[in-house]
Amino acid sequence: MRFEKLSTKTLRQKVYDQLRQKIISAEISPGETITMRELAQAFGVSLMPIREALWQLESEKVIVIESNKSIHVNTLTANEVNEILQARLALESMAVKRACELRPQSALPKVEYYLDGMRNSLKNHRQYLTKNKEFHFSIYSYSESPIFLQLIGLLWSRIGPYLFIQASRGGDISGSMECHQGMYEALCERDKNKIVRFLRRDLEETAKFIIPFLEANNYKQKIQKGGE
């Protein structure tokens, strides 16, 4: 496990940011166990900033800290994915509608830049998903709603690892690209209904992508426990 070595300034925040990104990108997988000492060694820091960053991630339900000080990334059930979908639909719909109202003309080239990044990453699914996150949050940033952004970010922390796990299996993502093209065009037109329609389609397709994987894993776990 490799992490960027850190300076002494704002160690807790830097540890938190790196850990959160590695969890979202499934470099640390749901259910995978790690220890504080392993993380401290990987980062090249003391245990204190590691503990502080982990406490923050635990408060966000991203990780679980066991009594023996081992840590694992929180897992989701199919029902929880459906709950997250409904929460994302509510929050992200409000964010894109506000972005349509409030975005300056200068926002369009920036959002188009991230859209082009997605288009150029179609053959690299993991890179595509990184660009996908940048695209969404570039739009949400124009909602001028820091609380929305914070809550949306928490939900992405929970769902992100499963997107990357599924992406590693390949598959057609042309439908996703259509949704994002539609969102960009709607942003240009300040068409709230259109941008929400394409956003909803994108999020619902994402949930359909993840739920069968979770259900299959849950079934396997039940079979394994039955055989013990």
- Show the domains of the chain with their CATH numbers: 11-73 (1.10.10.10), 78-218 (1.20.120.530)
pLDDT of residue 116: 97
pLDDT of residue 224: 41
- The pTM assigned to this predicted structure is 0.82
Contact assessment for residue 158 and residue 84, using Cβ atoms and an 8 Å cutoff: yes
pLDDT of residue 6: 58
pLDDT of residue 219: 39
User: What is the rounded CA–CA span in Å between residue 65 and residue 107?
Assistant: 41
Low-confidence ranges of the chain (pLDDT < 50): 219-228
User: What is the rounded CA–CA span in Å between residue 183 and residue 3?
Assistant: 35
pLDDT of residue 204: 92
Enumerate residues 6+ apart whose C-beta is below 8 A from 120.
none
Tokens matching residue 64: 């679980």
User: What is the rounded CA–CA span in Å between residue 7 and residue 146?
Assistant: 28
pLDDT of residue 172: 64
Calculate the dihedral angle through the C-alpha atoms of 119, 121, 123, 127, rounding to the nearest 10 degrees.
-140
User: Where would I find the beta strands (DSSP E) of the chain?
Assistant: 33-35, 63-65, 70-73
Instruction: Give the DSSP letter string of 143-185.
Output: G--HHHHHHHHHHHHHHHHHHHHHHTT----HHHHHHHHHHHH
Only one residue has tokens 């996150």, namely 133
pLDDT of residue 78: 85
